[in-house]
Structure 1
Amino acid sequence: MQYLANLLQRQRQSLVITPQLIQSIRLLQLAHGELRQFVEQELEKNPFLELASSDGMASDDVVSTSESGPDIGAHDSKVDAPTRADAPEPLGEWKSIRNTANASSEQRPAFEEFAASTETLHDDVARQIALTAFTSRDRLIAGALANHLEDTGYLQVNLSELAASLDAREDELERVLATLQLFDPPGIFARTLSECLEIQLRQRDRFDPAMEALVANLELVAQRDFRALKRRCGVDEEDLLDMLHEIRTLDPRPGNRFQSGRPEAIIPDVRVMPSTGGGWQIELNPDMLPKVLINQTYFAEVSRLTAHDPQDQAFLNECFQNANWLVRSLDQRAKTILKVATEIVRQQDVFLEHGIAHLRPLNLKTVADAIEMHESTVSRVTSNKYILTPRGVFELKYFFTVAIASSEGGEAHSAEAIRHRIKAMIAAETEDNVLSDDSMVAQLRASGIDIARRTVAKYREVMNIPSSVQRRREMRAGL
């Protein structure tokens, strides 16, 4: 056999994903907090990156590479026109009544600094412990128990282990715990739901043997097995109904009346408003866009000083390239979010006008084909992004729902809209007219929705709505 060595030229294509491309893809799916944290890390590492001033204007020596690009602030989804000068003021924004030019330049404290701080559950418990006639040893045990108190008011700790760590007897902890369970709000320092209800009933002097049996069989209450409850409690139906009504007046999470921390408000990434010329005006929320700029003058000065050192010059060039990449990536991210949101608004304009009953079925492929992007890109853009509409604030993922076929051969129906109709039908029920799943299927098919019984049952269970038998039983019980 003869072996020959030949030189062959072949051409082939391969997909190479650079680290910067991977980072650009990652930027698309970052939420506002994660994006802000990422930008702050880049600002610390890159000397040529700066944040824009509060007025959004850059100085002469600080230039953003995206300034020459198109305006990505706002546009109309239907008329495809730029933002009008007479467009309505964006929702949630206030204008200052006085002239800002005459305002004092000195820094004033924020209005929130004058608001009274909200007392937490642990603050209230600490104050009650201080006012209780405890011995020094009991006060130490009470503080240790309070440290294990959850925000809901429940105590989650093993008394034996805590007693060993405090070098105390378990009966001492039980005695101090019994005193703590008399604190306000009633029911705190309970270890189980049954104990929480028992504490509240004892303070009302309503914990008789029948009520004790009811509290001990809460699983039967959850199952709506009233026949077994009457037998366990030894009462008739009228007394059982009174006991159930009293149980419903109790608080299963007594600590929730206290604010455990500052509430986190959802800040929308996109805002949609009715346009003066018809259609909808869509704009990005400027508060959600990091204003990152490049200091080109500083780069030129440092490059001139380090021109003789190739290693330093290579480092500076790399930093400058990374800065350019970050600004372009943030600009592209904003444009992509606006592009996807505009197509979603175009597809769901009837929902914005008439409500959830008119929500259309929509999938990622439909939006991706319309804007000529990949489905994975649309999926990343809609993750953890919110849009402010006249109907409220929604996650962009909310508008993607499964399609349910029409029995009349017309346009398909959205699964979310059907769940809304099922909930409305059940809310309109009376004691003499409780709809079964088959009855709801018949009504939905009569209105042109082709749906199976198992689908109705699945939607009902997702919304935590009991079966027709349990709903009828609750109505008769007055619950």
Structure 2
Amino acid sequence: MDMMQFQRQTTQLAMTQRMQESLRILQMSNADLTDYLVSQALENPCLDVKVPEGASVAPALPSRGIQNAVDRDAFATVEAQPVSLLAHVEEQIDLAFFDPGDRRIALAFAEALEPSGWLGLPVAEIAASAGVDEDEALAILDRLQAFEPVGLFARSLAECLALQLQDQGLLTWELRTMLDHLHLVGEGKLPELARRCDCEVVHIRENLALIRSLTPKPGEAFEHGRLPIQPPDLRVLRGKEGWEVELTRAQLPRVSVGVVSETGQSAADAWLSRAESQARWLMRAVERRQTTLLRTAACLVRHQQAFLDHGPRALKPLSMDEVALELELHPSTISRATATRLIETPRGLIPLRNFFSRSVASDGPDAPQSQDALMALVGEIISREDRAKPLSDDAIVKAAKASGAVLARRTVTKYREALGIPSSYDRKRAAAAC
């Protein structure tokens, strides 16, 4: 076989240090941004930072570039907000995927994650939303399932447990067969399970002890019920021409570039010139951050005006890809801009990401519909039921159909459990106990 050499020219986007720093600034909360700029001002005599009144500043050293520095207030004693599941996954995606196409598919999988850490959508549907074939999506999923903690991106309980056993080098044929027939464990048919695994019941019990030591829902380690105690980043108000979005500038640090006289020494003047250039770049980076936040929030509010007017039932399907396309930004930029952001609305203080809602295929007249809207519908139907005669999941399916939403029974069960609502049997028992 003859060996031949070819020369090919390709174009790739190299992420510079300043680009990486700009992305970090975009993702910072107002408090983190203040701390970051204060630390930069301690090292840069050309950077002036005015700290918001009442803000908590990490560095305690005085500096020419820091004005109105204050001691830590009550917020400083509040436990730091843990990293969310989505933020944890996105950080690993940034490190594992450098090709823009692969990154886009990986982010589509990340958006499909349930709080349990399992995938909430079929791979075929995720592949369709990313505009790729299923085989390409499966190749990306295989890489995602290597993320920590092991078990994320599983499509079922059995796959989640199998990934963990495989990671520990313990996934035998016997255990694989047990995982494929977990329903027999729930039915108490251990002899039948032993027959399928070609082993004794005592071995089944030993394997069950091993399986119970695993983590069935690895994503729950990142779930936290309470919102962080911090002021909102944005505010939405009803103006003369509709809903208007504004930044809460009272919580933002003010950045300016100070003028430092030349020393007459070439080395020192060159250093000051670089410091001034860095200060101007930081000021522009902060301005870009604010502009991106405001544009993203305005776009979300524009699409979800009905939500603000009528509540969760009026949420429309909206993805990060759609917003990114409209704003001509990368989906990962939208993800960073909305991560951990809070927005003050007439309906309360809510995470900005609540304006996104996954599209759910349906046979109803209004298909496709928002998953959050359908979940809210299930909650409303149950809230109106007779407590002495609670509705079964089948009855909820019929009530939802009467409202124009076609749901499967298993979907109603899934939404009910996500809302923390017990089964009709448990609700009836609770009502009788009262």
Kept in 2: contact 1:405–1:451 (CA 8 A) = no
The residue type equivalent to 2:25 in the other structure is L
Q: By how many angstroms is 1:363 displaced?
A: 0.9
1:274 aligns to what SS in structure 2?
Answer: strand
The residue type equivalent to 1:341 in the other structure is A
Q: By how many angstroms is 1:54 displaced?
A: 7.9
2:350 aligns to what SS in structure 1?
Answer: strand
Q: By how many angstroms is 1:328 displaced?
A: 0.4
Aligned pair in 2 of structure 1 residues 9, 403: CA closer, same or farther (>3 Å)? closer
Partner of 2:25: 27
1:275 aligns with 2:239: yes
Q: Which string of whole-angstrom CA distances, capped at 9 and with x for unpartnered residues, describes residues 24-49 of structure 1?
A: 01111111221111111111111101
Partner of 2:254: 291
Q: By how many angstroms is 1:312 displaced?
A: 2.2
Q: By how many angstroms is 1:322 displaced?
A: 1.0
Quick one: distance in 2 between partners of 1:9 and 1:423?
62
Quick one: distance in 2 between partners of 1:394 and 1:264?
11
Partner of 1:324: 280
Q: Which string of whole-angstrom CA distances, capped at 9 and with x for unpartnered residues, describes residues 69-111 of structure 1?
A: xxxxxxxxxxxxxxxxxxxxxxxxxxxxxxxxxxxxxx9xxxx
Quick one: distance in 1 between partners of 2:370 and 2:406?
12
Q: How does 1:87-166 map to 2 (within 5 A)?
A: none
Partner of 1:210: none
The count of residues paired between Structure 1 and Structure 2 equals 260
Aligned pair in 2 of structure 1 residues 431, 265: CA closer, same or farther (>3 Å)? closer
Match of 1:464 among 406, 412, 420: 420
1:405 aligns with 2:361: yes
Quick one: distance in 2 between partners of 1:432 and 1:47?
71
Kept in 2: contact 1:272–1:280 (CA 8 A) = yes
Partner of 1:13: 11
Q: Give the stretch that moved more between structures: 286-295 or 321-330.
A: 286-295
Quick one: distance in 1 between partners of 2:250 and 2:273?
31
Q: By how many angstroms is 1:413 displaced?
A: 2.3
Quick one: distance in 2 between partners of 1:358 and 1:317?
54
* CA root-mean-square deviation: 2.7
Q: By how many angstroms is 1:52 displaced?
A: 4.4
Aligned pair in 2 of structure 1 residues 431, 323: CA closer, same or farther (>3 Å)? closer
Match of 2:386 among 397, 406, 430: 430
1:458 aligns to what SS in structure 2?
Answer: helix
Kept in 2: contact 1:386–1:396 (CA 8 A) = yes
Quick one: distance in 1 between partners of 2:8 and 2:417?
60
Unmatched 5+ residue regions in structure 2?
Answer: 1-5, 54-67, 75-226
1:360 aligns to what SS in structure 2?
Answer: coil
Partner of 2:212: none
Partner of 1:170: none
Unmatched 5+ residue regions in structure 1?
Answer: 1-7, 56-106, 114-262
The residue type equivalent to 2:248 in the other structure is N
The residue type equivalent to 1:280 in the other structure is W
Q: By how many angstroms is 1:417 displaced?
A: 2.0
2:12 aligns to what SS in structure 1?
Answer: coil
Partner of 2:313: 357
Quick one: distance in 1 between partners of 2:23 and 2:298?
20
The residue type equivalent to 1:39 in the other structure is L
2:21 aligns to what SS in structure 1?
Answer: helix
Quick one: distance in 2 between partners of 1:282 and 1:469?
45
Aligned pair in 2 of structure 1 residues 383, 431: CA closer, same or farther (>3 Å)? closer
Quick one: distance in 2 between partners of 1:345 and 1:368?
14
Kept in 1: contact 2:362–2:369 (CA 8 A) = yes
Partner of 2:99: none
Q: By how many angstroms is 1:12 displaced?
A: 4.4
Aligned pair in 2 of structure 1 residues 365, 12: CA closer, same or farther (>3 Å)? closer
Partner of 1:187: none
Kept in 2: contact 1:404–1:450 (CA 8 A) = no
1:381 aligns with 2:337: yes
Aligned pair in 2 of structure 1 residues 451, 291: CA closer, same or farther (>3 Å)? same
Partner of 2:48: 50
The residue type equivalent to 1:13 in the other structure is T
Stretches (4+) displaced over 6 A? none
TM-score (norm 1): 0.51
Quick one: distance in 1 between partners of 2:269 and 2:10?
36
Quick one: distance in 1 between partners of 2:431 and 2:10?
72
Partner of 1:232: none
Which structure carries more relative contact order (alpha carbon 8 Å, separation 6+)? 1
The residue type equivalent to 2:355 in the other structure is F
Q: By how many angstroms is 1:321 displaced?
A: 1.5
The residue type equivalent to 1:386 in the other structure is L
Q: How does 1:71-82 map to 2 (within 5 A)?
A: none
Kept in 2: contact 1:273–1:282 (CA 8 A) = yes
Kept in 2: contact 1:406–1:448 (CA 8 A) = no
Partner of 1:417: 373
Q: By how many angstroms is 1:429 displaced?
A: 2.2
Q: By how many angstroms is 1:411 displaced?
A: 4.5
Q: How does 1:215-364 map to 2 (within 5 A)?
A: 265-276=229-240, 278-296=241-259, 298=260, 301=261, 303=262, 305-306=263-264, 308-309=265-266, 311-364=267-320
The residue type equivalent to 1:267 in the other structure is P
Partner of 1:390: 346
Partner of 2:398: 442
- Identical residues among aligned pairs (%): 35
The residue type equivalent to 1:20 in the other structure is R
Quick one: distance in 2 between partners of 1:312 and 1:9?
46
1:477 aligns with 2:404: no
1:362 aligns to what SS in structure 2?
Answer: coil
Quick one: distance in 2 between partners of 1:455 and 1:266?
35
Q: Which string of whole-angstrom CA distances, capped at 9 and with x for unpartnered residues, describes residues 170-198 of structure 1?
A: xxxxxxxxxxxxxxxxxxxxxxxxxxxxx
Kept in 1: contact 2:52–2:252 (CA 8 A) = no
Quick one: distance in 1 between partners of 2:361 and 2:46?
56
Aligned pair in 2 of structure 1 residues 10, 406: CA closer, same or farther (>3 Å)? closer
Kept in 2: contact 1:364–1:375 (CA 8 A) = yes
The residue type equivalent to 1:26 in the other structure is R
